[in-house]
């Protein structure tokens, strides 16, 4: 290709991808000449070629603009083709999750989202506090944000734990940038590269990614969908394989949704204490219980500082503010040091805004509304799956949270269902990403935090039909919900 043709092709590609949108001005002839080190005459020839192709137009005394075309031909920046990726031999979990989230941003029905419906959050009140506090934060300086975090927020977190039956030492609390950072810091504090980390199977995919990123070894322990991780199998692994630490989610586990009984929580902590093995507790769904009584945490039974409790407000107040915390027990000093070395601080404004909300507004009232909605929607979603999906489909019975685990007939492959659903504007969480092997390749995770609408029901119905096609059988006959 000649120079002007190469330049024209590059600009056309940017227009096709939506980098330069219809009606927007493109860089001038002089700017393009300077940026690409081309002569003015070469740039003019490229622009004339684009104009002849109907991609740009010249406006007197204004420059060149991308031509407006009929709405049917409008383009946007598109993610990698999910169908091709899902059908490949190797699954890149990070790219898979990112593609799913991008599809949700572009309008897919968000059944595969890991996040709750944003409409459930008190955005207006939090933004009001943030705006009123902005000037004070600007005068504080960066040292005010240093670990362990804002004193008022720490006080409010300690009060919240006390109200939930867990008296904690406020000096143990370290504020983090979301629960993900808390989990990563705790993992770094208790284990070194090469160490073996025991996890539930299936487990939240971000934990698998974190362990792999730190060059540690994942050891998956069979997990019952009602009782939780198998303690006898975990103890054998500790004795026989030298487990350095374990990570579990005892309350409303993602993706299974179970709540471990108090007896099993106590037994687990006692067993780990005997072996001096620390346990990182991911308790981000703690406040989203469906019963009348809040659950206990592993931290309730810890007497030796071996439970590193991680939590956040991302699932109940605001994922955008990214405020979490850790109660690292005997590892408090290491975690605080790692927090300082890794990210220096947690932004002050979201800390203060959440502290003001907890102090002045009805957090419990807000949570009661959320819990009521999720409880109802969990029942509706489970009933719809039973109604629309093929025979042989099983569903979990979540005790809290907003995620439903669906076990499909063995003939149905989750990645194929995922790909076909994406083509129809529906996102799902394929079971493959919740383990390192193929044990859950016939499972999917569905998000039911969004209100039950005709669109959501239609999406679940479509998923059921697709699953029926893949199972080479007829979906169940519809019955009233």
Q: Which CATH number goes with the domain that contains 435?
A: 3.90.1150.10
Strand pairing category for 174-176 and 196-201: unpaired
Phi–psi pair at 308, nearest 5 degrees:
-105, 100
Round to whole Å and give the CA distance between 318 and 116.
10
Which tens digits make up the pLDDT trace of 146-184?
Answer: 899 999 999 999 999 999 999 999 999 999 999 999 999
Phi–psi pair at 65, nearest 5 degrees:
-130, 150
205 belongs to a structural domain? yes
- The pLDDT assigned to 300 comes to 97
Which residues, in sequence order, are CB contacts of 352 under 8 Å at separation 6+? 129, 130, 133, 136, 137, 150, 152, 153
Which of 247, 272, 287, 271 lies closest to 166 in space, CA to CA? 287
Round to whole Å and give the CA distance between 393 and 348.
47
- Residue 309 has, within 13 A of its CA and on its CB side, a CA count of 25
* Mean pLDDT on 440-449: 97
- The pLDDT assigned to 143 comes to 59
- The pLDDT assigned to 405 comes to 98
On the question of pLDDT at 86 being above 50, the answer is no
| Same domain (yes/no): 192, 245 | yes
Which tens digits make up the pLDDT trace of 60-75?
Answer: 878 899 998 654 333 3
On the question of pLDDT at 89 being above 50, the answer is no
| Same domain (yes/no): 260, 307 | yes
Which tens digits make up the pLDDT trace of 348-361?
Answer: 899 999 999 999 98
- The pLDDT assigned to 104 comes to 78
End-to-end CA distance of the chain: 63
261 belongs to a structural domain? yes
Whole-number mean pLDDT of the chain? 90
- The pLDDT assigned to 70 comes to 53
Is residue 279 within 8 A of residue 248, CB to CB? The reply is yes
Which residues, in sequence order, are CB contacts of 247 under 8 Å at separation 6+? 183, 187, 197, 198, 199, 200, 203, 207, 211, 279, 280, 282
DSSP bridge partners of 198: 219, 246
| Same domain (yes/no): 297, 223 | yes
Round to whole Å and give the CA distance between 173 and 351.
13
- The pLDDT assigned to 78 comes to 33
210 belongs to a structural domain? yes
Which tens digits make up the pLDDT trace of 132-145?
Answer: 888 777 776 655 67
| Same domain (yes/no): 357, 378 | no
On the question of pLDDT at 223 being above 50, the answer is yes
| Same domain (yes/no): 402, 462 | yes
| Same domain (yes/no): 337, 400 | no
CA 209, 211, 217: angle at the middle one, nearest 5?
Answer: 120
348 belongs to a structural domain? yes
Q: Which CATH number goes with the domain that contains 13?
A: 1.10.10.10
Residue, of 72 and 376, whose pLDDT is higher = 376
Round to whole Å and give the CA distance between 76 and 16.
8
On the question of pLDDT at 258 being above 60, the answer is yes
Is residue 20 within 8 A of residue 76, CB to CB? The reply is no
131 belongs to a structural domain? no
195 belongs to a structural domain? yes
477 belongs to a structural domain? no
- The pLDDT assigned to 478 comes to 42
Strand pairing category for 324-327 and 307-312: antiparallel
* Mean pLDDT on 377-383: 97
Q: Which CATH number goes with the domain that contains 225?
A: 3.40.640.10
- The pLDDT assigned to 134 comes to 86
| Same domain (yes/no): 302, 190 | yes
- The pLDDT assigned to 19 comes to 83
DSSP string, 170-223: GGG-EEESHHHHHHHHHHHHH--TT-EEEEEES--HHHHHHHHHTT-EEEEEEE
Q: Where are the beta strands (DSSP E) in 249-363?
A: 279-282, 307-312, 324-327
Number of domains composing the chain: 3
Phi–psi pair at 30, nearest 5 degrees:
-65, -45
- The pLDDT assigned to 72 comes to 37
* Mean pLDDT on 404-422: 95
Which tens digits make up the pLDDT trace of 15-45?
Answer: 887 888 889 999 999 999 988 899 988 998 9
Domain boundary among 325, 346, 361: 361
- The pLDDT assigned to 61 comes to 79
| Same domain (yes/no): 107, 151 | no
Print the domain residue range for 44. 3-73
Is residue 456 within 8 A of residue 109, CB to CB? The reply is yes
Which tens digits make up the pLDDT trace of 295-323?
Answer: 999 999 999 999 999 999 999 998 888 99
- The pLDDT assigned to 142 comes to 55
| Same domain (yes/no): 388, 458 | yes
Which residues, in sequence order, are CB contacts of 422 under 8 Å at separation 6+? 82, 83, 86, 103, 108
On the question of pLDDT at 87 being above 70, the answer is no
Which of the listed ranges 71-75, 124-128, 469-473 does the model predict with the highest average pLDDT? 124-128
């Amino acid at each position: 290709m000649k120079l002007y043709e190469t330049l024209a092709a590059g600009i056309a590609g940017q227009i096709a991808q939506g980098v330069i949108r219809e009606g927007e001005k493109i860089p001038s002839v002089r700017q393009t000449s300077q940026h690409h080190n081309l002569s003015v005459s070469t740039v003019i020839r490229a622009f004339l070629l684009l104009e002849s192709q109907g991609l740009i137009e010249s406006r007197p005394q204004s420059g060149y603009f991308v031509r407006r075309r009929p709405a049917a031909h409008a383009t946007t920046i598109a993610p990698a083709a999910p169908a091709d990726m899902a059908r490949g031999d190797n699954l890149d979990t990070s790219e898979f999750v990112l593609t799913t989230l991008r599809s949700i941003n572009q309008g897919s029905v968000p059944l595969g989202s890991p996040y709750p419906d944003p409409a459930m959050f008190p955005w207006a009140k939090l933004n009001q506090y943030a705006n009123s506090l902005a000037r004070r934060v600007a005068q504080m300086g960066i040292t005010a944000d240093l670990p362990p975090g804002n004193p008022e927020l720490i006080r409010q977190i300690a009060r919240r734990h006390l109200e939930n039956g867990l008296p904690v030492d406020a000096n143990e609390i370290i504020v983090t940038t979301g629960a993900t950072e808390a989990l990563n810091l705790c993992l770094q504090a208790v284990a070194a590269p090469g160490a073996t980390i025991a996890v539930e199977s299936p487990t939240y995919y971000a934990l698998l990614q974190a362990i792999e990123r730190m060059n540690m070894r994942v050891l998956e322990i069979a997990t019952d969908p009602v009782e939780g991780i198998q303690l006898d199998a975990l103890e054998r692994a500790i004795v026989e394989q030298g487990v350095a630490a374990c990570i579990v989610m005892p309350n409303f586990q993602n993706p299974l949704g179970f709540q471990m009984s108090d007896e099993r929580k106590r037994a687990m902590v006692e067993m780990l204490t005997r072996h001096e093995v620390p346990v990182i507790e991911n308790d981000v769904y703690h406040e989203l219980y469906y019963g009348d009584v809040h659950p206990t945490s592993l931290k309730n039974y810890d007497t030796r500082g071996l439970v590193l409790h991680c939590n956040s407000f991302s699932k109940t107040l605001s994922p955008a503010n990214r405020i979490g915390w850790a109660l690292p027990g005997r590892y408090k000093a290491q975690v605080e040091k790692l927090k300082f070395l890794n990210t220096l601080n947690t932004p002050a404004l979201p800390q203060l805004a959440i502290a003001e909300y907890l102090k002045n507004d009805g957090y419990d009232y807000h949570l009661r509304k959320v819990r009521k909605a999720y409880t109802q929607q969990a029942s509706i979603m489970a009933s719809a799956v039973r109604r629309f999906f093929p025979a042989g489909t099983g569903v979990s019975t979540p005790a809290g949270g907003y995620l439903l685990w669906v076990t499909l007939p063995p003939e149905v492959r989750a990645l194929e269902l995922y790909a076909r659903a994406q083509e129809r504007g529906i996102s799902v969480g394929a079971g493959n990403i919740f383990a390192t092997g193929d044990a859950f390749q016939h499972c999917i995770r569905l998000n039911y935090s969004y209100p039950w609408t005709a669109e959501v029901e239609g999406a679940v119905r479509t998923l059921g039909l697709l699953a029926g096609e893949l199972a080479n059988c007829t979906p169940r006959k519809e019955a009233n919900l």
